[in-house]
Amino acid sequence: MENKAVIVYKSCTGFTKKYAELIAKETGSALEELQKASAESLSPYQTVVFGGRLHAGHIDGWQRAKAMAQKGGARQIILFAVGAMPNTAEGTIAEMWKNNLSAEEMEHIPHFYMQGGLSYERMGFLDKAMMKAAAAVMSRRSDDEVFKKMISQSYDISSEEFIRPLVGVLKSD
């Protein structure tokens, strides 16, 4: 079977990489890190799937990946974002999509959110400092004890089940 898709990802703490590897394995797609990708390396593929972490409300690497996929001639682009918030935070997730995709892109680019987690151990110094500061402020303002505990330490809420909808789109093509 001809390989029609490539999974491109940008991962800082490992959650996005984990999902990208699972999607590639499940679909038989090629796998490439964004920093090693180019329009030329993506040009053999009909579909480019990009996965990036949520960072300050934006999908890290999305604009660069989209430009490369378009320049490489991809017929379809699929997007997935990985973040620390649970999939049940539907309002926040909907707002995030509005901040990252135009109205036209929302209609034409299949997009998926996958909960990941926090890994203070794998974060860079600035990200770690910002998260710790945010956790301190939020813990004073929030009455939600579960939320306070979650943001104060590393955790992993990722699950292979969250790739199923995206895999379904790839397998139906």
How do residues 33-89 score in pLDDT, each as one tens digit? Answer: 999 999 999 999 999 999 999 887 899 999 999 999 999 999 999 999 998 888 888
Residue 121 tokens read as 């151990």
SS in 3 state form for 99-167?
HHCCHHHHHHCCEEEEECEECHHHCCHHHHHHHHHHHHHHHHHCCCHHHHHHHCCCEECCCHHHHHHHH
Is residue 10 pLDDT above 90, yes or no?
A: yes
Residue 19 tokens read as 């999902």
- What is the rounded CA–CA span in Å between residue 131 and residue 119? 11
Cα separation values, 67 from 39, 61, 89, 90, 165, Å: 8, 10, 29, 28, 24
Q: What is the DSSP string of 61-112?
A: THHHHHHHHHHTT-SEEEEEEEESS-TT-HHHHHHHHHHHS-HHHHHHS-EE
Provide the pLDDT for residue 1. 34
- Report the predicted TM-score, pTM, of the whole model to 2 decimal places: 0.84
Q: What is the pLDDT of residues 99-145, one digit of tens each?
A: 999 999 999 999 999 998 866 677 777 876 776 676 666 666 655 55
Provide the pLDDT for residue 82. 95
CA 156 to chain centre: 15
Is residue 148 pLDDT above 90, yes or no?
A: no
Provide the pLDDT for residue 16. 96
